[in-house]
Amino acid sequence: MSRKIIVPELLAPAGSLEKLKVAIDYGANAVYLAGLKFGLRAAADNFTYQELEEGVSYCHNHGAKAYVVLNGFLHDKDLEDLPEFVKYLDEIKVDAVIVSDLGVIETVKANSNLEVHLSTQASCLNAASAKLWKSLGVTRIVVGREVSIAEARLIKEQVDIEIEMFVHGSMCMAYSGNCTISNFTQGRDSNRGGCAHSCRFEYSLDQKQSKVTSHFMSSKDLNGLRLIPEFSQAGIDSIKVEGRMKSHLYAGTVSKVYAEALKKYQAEGELIEEDIKRWESELTKFTHRDYAAANLIEKASRDTIYNDRENDGDYGMLGRVVEAQDDHFVMQVRHAFSPGDQIEVLPFSGENITIKIEDIFTLGGEKIEKTKPSTLVKIPTNYKLAPNFIVRGHK
Amino acid sequence: MIYTPYVENKSGIELLKDHKIDEVIIGCKELSRASKISFEEMIALIGECNNLGLKVLLEFDILVSEQDFNRTIKIFEAIPLDQLEAVRVQDVGLAYYLLENTDVDLHLITETGNHNLVGLKKWEEIFKSKLKRLVLSNELSWEKVKYYQENLSTPIEILGAGRILLFYTPRKLVSIYDRFEWVDDIIEVSATSEESPHKGFPVLENQHGTFMYHMKELFLLDRPDLLEKSGANFIRLDFRHQPEKLNTCLDLLASGAPVGELKEKVAPKSIRGYFLTNKSDVLFKKLKNYRIQRKDNDYIGEVIDSQKGGYLAIDLKNSSIGLGDTILIINPDGKEKELEIKTLRNTQGRDVSTKNSGLVLTEYVSGIWVKAQIYKKSAQDESHPAH
């Protein structure tokens, strides 16, 4: 009998309750989300208390886990409201909190029985560090983005602790938690949610008479899809997708692709090139930078610098299905399209459905020639669709 | 208040004793992020300082990946540890390793984060008697430094003068452009972006990666009153990028020169950073529109379509709505309207008296946009959900 293949958990970003549902529906095993404070994305929608409760229930009802990020480097005054919040998280049965600050860990432990995962923000790069954090009650380490899969395996073997690694998305160029450009140039604390992404700017580099203009601090995006076998063989417990600020299309597509790849690898013990190419193609159909494996196999080289602006991708999200009936569906429109256009509907699993649009109606039954963003339209079809399916289209 | 300078060469160390300096920080290229001297030069310098009676604090502030860990420790172990007063580390893995495997005293560099007393106290508890100093973040106000000094049992140190490190990556970001010159195994360039109001960030690349600094130095020595009030036990002086300034600075301090002259001669282009106050979270309020953020009390749903003269479509978030209910609508621009529900339809256009979830259409309300938030207005409770 062949040995059962264990694959890592797929952990997806949930920037809002809607995106949480998208990630779970499209196959993520867990999501990470933030309350209105204490995280690193002050500009994200984030979750109110009731939304947290709804989000956690939604995850648990779908057999998934919900981790709440408390990974800001908090100041004394920020800690004042934290006990009440962590007690609430414990009450609603959040599966773990993701923390980078020792003061936060102590506050969580003093006020709850929540499991604590160490955020990548703490830049845990070696086994000695993991051993220290384990002694402080941490049960999982999200290793620094500079750690390779081989190093992560060594850390796991030496320390016997759960290991989580980033697998996809934007990369901080700096050691996480070691960048204060925003703090000192824009007055916004990057380590409490105010990152201004100054590393993505184009800079002129000068030395005497020599000059170069480059986005020299901008990293290519991470793409570890091909390395799923390596993650699995190294015993990595969770692979994480970056992007709480990113779109529904991103959350859905990435979750779907990685969920399928993990499932396939678990069932068959290998990934075939044809599938990988198809998935990789899917991963280009939303806004992204060029991809690289960053440090996952070897130290990130010069090829991992992205000297350009973000690539919008060939596809955009046209909207989402909000209601599905036997002969039509109602769609919330994000980007305009017209009769004659071809749209692609992404079911939660399996092949995408391509539909050539013949007619479009308002909810009042009036025929329209072109949809408008932020409206609802009714589209006749015989395909069996479901609410929350994402609809995309070629730009 | 004791001044603690870095030294990187023998010239001038004799003068330090005259300025009542009794400890110095020394690193080497292999173990320190910004040192320019070799391991051998460092060993010689440590010996020299020992001979002069200067206590030596070894800077071991690099972050170390698992694959480099053993090699790095081997380099460290070749240092005569009995000649060191303490070892300064930021990587908590290294610190923990040194705690468990050596007898050296530690200075823990808590410069990235560690902005709360709870965490700092815990570091004291972990490293116990081996922890001789906490090197605090340069994002702290003097009042915060004072608070920590009063509540910690470990002496504390802050940066008094020196470059402000903004960014540290192990990636080699400058040498890929082969037109820049290396000097002493370092490439230094100046970076300017049209997208930033600031110009001329010093950027250095060496064997440990790439470092970006603020274009102005941190200089707190012109506020001796606040330094004194802060209670910081040690004030670090980092003139490694312009070593000639160290003696100038110490001379002026010793002579009691006016603070204006001190600043002018030592750090004319400098800032005080967050030493007066830290308000680096006040701009967060402006990062998003809080009017479209859902409030929990009496929340019903969100407007997802508004057809002039036609209908408002509401996406109900597991809340019911019925004919006769009064709802409060908060528009994205902050405008508020109350509406008594007189018509309710489903998406097929059929009238319904109540709806519990999903989409429902009600009468159009002029001036209400998509993303407006809907709350139930109860007769008993006139309190405003948004307040």
Interface list for B 131-160 with A (CB within 8 A): 139, 144, 147
Contact A148, A296 (CB under 8 A): yes
Contact B28, B87 (CB under 8 A): no
By the CB < 8 Å criterion, does A125 face chain B? yes
Q: Which residue is listed with tokens 């030069």? A: B41
* A37 or B186, which is more confident: B186
B228-247 pLDDT per residue, tens: 999 999 999 999 999 999 99
Which residues contact residue A48 at a Cβ distance below 8 angstroms, ignoring those fewer than 6 apart? A35, A36, B293, B294, B295, B296
With 0-12 CB in 10 A as exposed, 13-18 as middle and 19+ as buried, what is A182?
A: buried
Cβ distance of A42 and B287 shorter than 8 Å: yes
B16-72 pLDDT per residue, tens: 988 989 999 999 999 999 999 999 999 999 999 999 999 999 999 999 999 999 999
Percentage, residues of chain B above pLDDT 90: 81
Retrieve residue B146's tokens: 């004072």
Alpha helices in A186-287 (DSSP H): 228-233, 248-268, 273-282
Which stretch of DSSP H or E encloses residue B97? helix B92-101
pLDDT of residue A44: 63
Q: Which residue is listed with tokens 């106050």? A: B277
Q: Which residue is listed with tokens 């009238």? A: B351
Contact A15, A246 (CB under 8 A): yes
Retrieve residue B344's tokens: 């309710």
- CA separation for the pair B363, B375 (Å, rounded): 16
Return mean pLDDT, chain A: 94
- CA separation for the pair B22, B5 (Å, rounded): 10
Of B137, B122, B131, nearest to B155 by C-alpha is B131
Interface list for B 274-313 with A (CB within 8 A): 278-284, 287-288, 293-296, 299, 304-305, 307, 310-311, 313
Q: CA A253 → CA A66, A271, A292, distances in Å?
A: 19, 19, 18
pLDDT of residue A308: 81
By the CB < 8 Å criterion, does A209 face chain B? no
Interface list for A 6-65 with B (CB within 8 A): 36, 42-45, 48-51, 54
Total Cβ atoms within 10 A of residue A137? 12
Retrieve residue B44's tokens: 């010689």
Report the chain B residue with the minimal C-alpha distance to residue A100.
Answer: B113
- CA separation for the pair A244, A195 (Å, rounded): 13
- CA separation for the pair B30, B78 (Å, rounded): 12
H, E, C per residue of A129-140: HHHHHHHCCEEE
Q: What type of residue is B372?
A: A
Strands A65-70 and A96-99: parallel
What backbone phi and psi angles, to 5 degrees, belong to B96?
A: -70, -40
Of B39, B89, B81, B38, nearest to B60 by C-alpha is B89
Contact A278, A50 (CB under 8 A): no
Q: CA B229 → CA A21, A306, B54, B90, B274, distances in Å?
A: 53, 47, 27, 26, 15
Q: What is the full DSSP assignment across B274-297?
A: TSS---TTGGGGGGS-GGGSPPST
Exposure string over B286-320, b if 16+ CB within 10 A, otherwise e: eeeeebbebbeebbbbbbbbbbeeebbbbbbbebe
Task: Read off the pLDDT band of B386 (50, 70, 90).
Answer: very low
3-state helix, strand, coil in chain B (%, to 5): 25, 30, 45
pTM (2 d.p.): 0.94
Of A245, A283, A351, A254, nearest to A23 by C-alpha is A254
Retrieve residue B64's tokens: 């170390």
By the CB < 8 Å criterion, does B61 face chain A? no
Total Cβ atoms within 10 A of residue B50? 16
At A343 the three-state DSSP class reads strand
Task: Read off the pLDDT band of B288 (50, 70, 90).
Answer: low
- CA separation for the pair A287, A290 (Å, rounded): 10
Q: Mean pLDDT, to the nearest integer, of A25-40?
A: 90
Report the chain A residue with the minimal C-alpha distance to residue B279.
Answer: A187
Q: CA of A278 to nearest chain B CA: how many angstroms apart?
A: 31
A71-107 pLDDT per residue, tens: 999 999 999 999 999 999 999 999 999 999 999 999 9
Strands B299-307 and B373-376: antiparallel
pLDDT of residue B346: 92
- CA separation for the pair B91, B75 (Å, rounded): 16
Q: Which residues pair with A99 in a beta bridge?
A: A70, A118
pLDDT of residue A312: 72
By the CB < 8 Å criterion, does A386 face chain B? no
Question: Lowest-pLDDT range, A325-334, B156-165, B174-183, B279-288?
Answer: B279-288
At A176 the three-state DSSP class reads coil
- CA separation for the pair B15, B251 (Å, rounded): 10
Which residues contact residue B275 at a Cβ distance below 8 angstroms, ignoring those fewer than 6 apart? B140, B141, B142, B218, B220, B223, B226
Q: CA of A273 to nearest chain B CA: how many angstroms apart?
A: 30
Cβ distance of A48 and B293 shorter than 8 Å: yes
By the CB < 8 Å criterion, does A134 face chain B? no
pLDDT of residue B387: 42
A208-265 pLDDT per residue, tens: 999 999 999 999 999 999 999 999 999 999 999 999 999 999 999 999 999 999 999 9
Provide the sign of the torsion angle of the four alpha carbons B100, B106, B112, B116, taken in this order. positive
- CA separation for the pair A238, A228 (Å, rounded): 11
Task: Read off the pLDDT band of A45 (50, 70, 90).
Answer: low
Which residues in A lie closer than 8 A to residue B203 (C-beta atoms)? 205
Task: Read off the pLDDT band of B380 (50, 70, 90).
Answer: very low
With 0-12 CB in 10 A as exposed, 13-18 as middle and 19+ as buried, what is B63?
A: buried
pLDDT of residue B211: 97
- CA separation for the pair B215, B163 (Å, rounded): 8
A278-300 pLDDT per residue, tens: 999 999 999 999 999 999 999 88
Interface list for B 209-238 with A (CB within 8 A): 212, 214
Residue contacts between A and B (CB atoms, under 8 Å): 286
Which residues in B lie closer than 8 A to residue A106 (C-beta atoms)? 118-119, 122
Percentage, residues of chain A above pLDDT 70: 98
A148-191 pLDDT per residue, tens: 999 999 999 999 999 999 999 999 999 988 888 888 888 888 88
Cβ distance of A364 and B304 shorter than 8 Å: no
On the question of pLDDT at B88 being above 60, the answer is: yes
Contact A250, A287 (CB under 8 A): yes
Contact A225, A279 (CB under 8 A): yes
On the question of pLDDT at B381 being above 70, the answer is: no
The DSSP call for residue A74 is -
pLDDT of residue B17: 84
Closest Cβ–Cβ partner in B172, B198, B282 for A185: B198
Contact B357, B316 (CB under 8 A): yes
Report the chain B residue with the minimal C-alpha distance to residue A53.
Answer: B296
Closest Cβ–Cβ partner in A54, A155, A332 for B304: A332
- CA separation for the pair A218, A225 (Å, rounded): 21
